[in-house]
A and B are shown apart, each in its own frame.
Chain A
Amino acid sequence: GAVVSQHPSRVICKSGTSVKIECRSLDFQATTMFWYRQFPKQSLMLMATSNEGSKATYEQGVEKDKFLINHASLTLSTLTVASAHPEDSSFYICSASPLTTGAVTDTQYFGPGTRLTVL
């Protein structure tokens, strides 16, 4: 089946550091990738929709200058947490929808997630 990878799987950094998380679709192309965040014991929340070749669409309350998204190709989207602070500590997970016959399907494949801890 379709595979989505994320790197790194875990990162611990000091406050003020910028952290980049990569999301790759390994065996399919995706014009759209999604970034989600999950705080401990809470449900997943959509942060932003990453569109290949155009600007990302951010959900209400998500700072676009803090969570920088770049979808440079049909298989790679990156999320950069700029000047991370302890409150940004969370589990970040991406998903991607395969591009088939030019139409966006509803199927989503999830990456394994990245656990970010900011000290």
Chain B
Amino acid sequence: KNEVEQSPQNLTAQEGEFITINCSYSVGISALHWLQQHPGGGIVSLFMLSSGKKKHGRLIATINIQEKHSSLHITASHPRDSAVYICAVRGGGADGLTFGKGTHLIIQP
């Protein structure tokens, strides 16, 4: 069973700061997801990665398959980015996800 570790668990930053959230996992995967969960519970899929780097707006996600590590970056952070960010990994194509415990991000104005 894959162990997924995220850091930090909690992060408070000022608006405009560059944010980095890290994720490491223990067993090889077919894909890694970065998810955003808002207070109501709903989950939005931000990225799905199997290699390299992806960018969407102010969000950047990278993955290093050899090191079993991924990072999520937020540039020019804004209070509306405040949420829980969750890293999740998938073993095979038909497997369910294994989740990290999430990073609770608060961006203060």
A77 at the interface (CB under 8 A from B): no
- Considering residues A43, A110, A115, which has the most beta carbons from chain B within 10 angstroms of its beta carbon? A43
B7 at the interface (CB under 8 A from A): no
Contact mask B30-70 → A, CB, 8 Å, 1/0?
Answer: 11010100000111110010100000000000000000000
B109 at the interface (CB under 8 A from A): no
- Shortest distance between the CB of B26 and any CB in chain A (Å): 15
Q: Is the interface of A mostly helix, strand, loop or mixed?
A: strand
- Shortest distance between the CB of A51 and any CB in chain B (Å): 9
Do residues A106 and B31 form an inter-chain contact, with CB atoms below 8 A?
A: yes
> Which residues of the partner chain B approach A110 to less than 8 Å between Cβ atoms?
35, 42-45
Do residues A42 and B30 form an inter-chain contact, with CB atoms below 8 A?
A: no
C-alpha spacing A42/B50, complex, angstroms: 26
Do residues A43 and B45 form an inter-chain contact, with CB atoms below 8 A?
A: no
C-alpha spacing A114/B18, complex, angstroms: 34
Do residues A106 and B43 form an inter-chain contact, with CB atoms below 8 A?
A: no
Do residues B41 and A38 form an inter-chain contact, with CB atoms below 8 A?
A: yes
> Which residues of the partner chain A approach B48 to less than 8 Å between Cβ atoms?
106-108
Q: How many residues of B are in contact with the other chain, CB < 8 A? A: 24
Do residues A106 and B90 form an inter-chain contact, with CB atoms below 8 A?
A: yes
Q: How many residues of A are in contact with the other chain, CB < 8 A? A: 25
**Closest chain A residue to B104 by CB distance?**
A41
- Shortest distance between the CB of B104 and any CB in chain A (Å): 10
Do residues A42 and B101 form an inter-chain contact, with CB atoms below 8 A?
A: yes
- Shortest distance between the CB of B92 and any CB in chain A (Å): 9
Do residues A104 and B86 form an inter-chain contact, with CB atoms below 8 A?
A: no
Taking A43-B86, A43-B101, A43-B102 as contacts, is the C-beta distance between A104 and B41 under 8 angstroms?
A: no
Q: List 27 A-B contacts (CB under 8 A).
A: A32-B94, A34-B97, A36-B96, A36-B97, A36-B99, A42-B101, A43-B99, A43-B101, A44-B99, A59-B96, A91-B41, A93-B41, A93-B43, A104-B93, A105-B93, A106-B30, A106-B48, A106-B90, A107-B48, A108-B33, A108-B45, A108-B48, A110-B42, A110-B43, A112-B42, A113-B42, A113-B43
